[in-house]
Amino acid sequence: MQAIVQETYGSADVLRLARITRPEVADNGVLLRVHAAGLDRGTWHLMTGRPYLLRLAFGVRGPKNPVPGRDVAGTVVAVGSAVTKFSAGDEVYGIGQGSFAEYAVAREDKLARKPVNTTFEQAAVVPISALTALRGVCDVGDVQQGQKVLITGASGGVGSYAVQLAKALGAEVTGVCSTTKLDMVRSLGADHVIDYTRDDFADGAHRYDLIVDIAGSPALSRLRRALTPTGTAVLVGGEEGGNVTGLDRQMRALVLSPFVRQRLTGFIPRERSSDIERLTHLIEEGKVTPSIDRSYSLDRVPEAMRYLVAGRVRGKVVITV
């Protein structure tokens, strides 16, 4: 089969198209014919091997799994002996291993049936980003109807879902993004938008019950100035968290939080089928819609990665296989 492979950590230049053996399926695994795969920041982290703590789990000198890609949508080809939820021919989506390929494997407990009202391309860009948003907004942020919610990085992969989830739960949502992406964030349902190139959300003019900080504001003091006295700030992502652990901001927040009235916290994302099924219901009810910026063929994955790194993506990027 054809697949994107990498032997070492580095920039998009380490990615190349190759012909490799089709993966074997484990007892609790599912073999998928990949129709589409999502591209997210996590894939970039695994490609570069940063933060370096990741290498302890994914390979010290180079990736243990040479095929990148985790978000996946496709058709079941075969299942392991312990699999009971799926069978050949089922259309599914979720989190797999090596989805930048014609075939990929995934664990049964990280898959769900594809929403009936989405294409494979739309389904493929949901799992990791939307699960992160679900965890940050709903589970950790515990957003309530009528609350004022601020989302930084609102135009990105996680942010585009966070805006929709907060709106679906009845919050008054303000999205922070750059000038060229204001209209896109409004189209997601944001009640208000802030252009960070012109205005400062932490100028004291407005206070928020919940801030979901996806853009990575390095100064916790800025987030606290924008919170209500008992508000919550949820820190997402590791882009501004240092090259060693990627968790510097979250660790500082957890240390400070017990000494202030405001709640400052981060979280570890969850990858389980029950949460993917929660997203399926929201998508089928029309409360959440995947937003795709660009589509790239499998042989153009390096180009897609460069586009992601450049920071120009509005919503999500999908790889069609």
pLDDT above 70 covers a percentage of the chain that reads: 97
Note the pTM of the prediction, 2 decimals: 0.94
Instruction: Say how far apart CA 127 and CA 113 lie, in whole Å.
Output: 12
CATH code for the domain in which residue 171 is found: 3.40.50.720
Residue that is last in its domain, among 265, 280, 312? 265
Q: What is the mean pLDDT of residues 158-171?
A: 98
Residues 158 and 53 in one domain: no
Q: Phi first, then psi: what are they for 24, rounded to 5°?
A: -90, 150
The reply to whether 237 falls in a domain is yes
Residues 33 and 147 in one domain: no
pLDDT for 253: 76
pLDDT for 244: 59
The reply to whether 301 falls in a domain is yes
Residues 247 and 161 in one domain: yes
Question: How far is residue 285 from each of residues 68, 116, 118, 190, 281, measured CA to CA in Å?
Answer: 32, 10, 12, 19, 6
The reply to whether 210 falls in a domain is yes
C-beta separation of 266 from 241 below 8 A:
no
Residues β-bridged to residue 186: none
Residues 162 and 220 in one domain: yes
Number of domains in the chain: 2
Is pLDDT of 238 > 70? no
Query: Band of the pLDDT at 44, cuts 50, 70, 90?
Result: very high
Residues 37 and 77 in one domain: yes
Residues 256 and 303 in one domain: no
The reply to whether 297 falls in a domain is yes
pLDDT for 268: 86
pLDDT for 246: 57
Residues 56 and 140 in one domain: no
Residues 116 and 151 in one domain: no
pLDDT for 72: 98
CA atoms within 13 A on the CB side of 10: 11
Residues 60 and 184 in one domain: no
Q: What is the residue range of 78's domain?
A: 2-126+290-320
Residues 249 and 225 in one domain: yes
CATH code for the domain in which residue 75 is found: 3.90.180.10
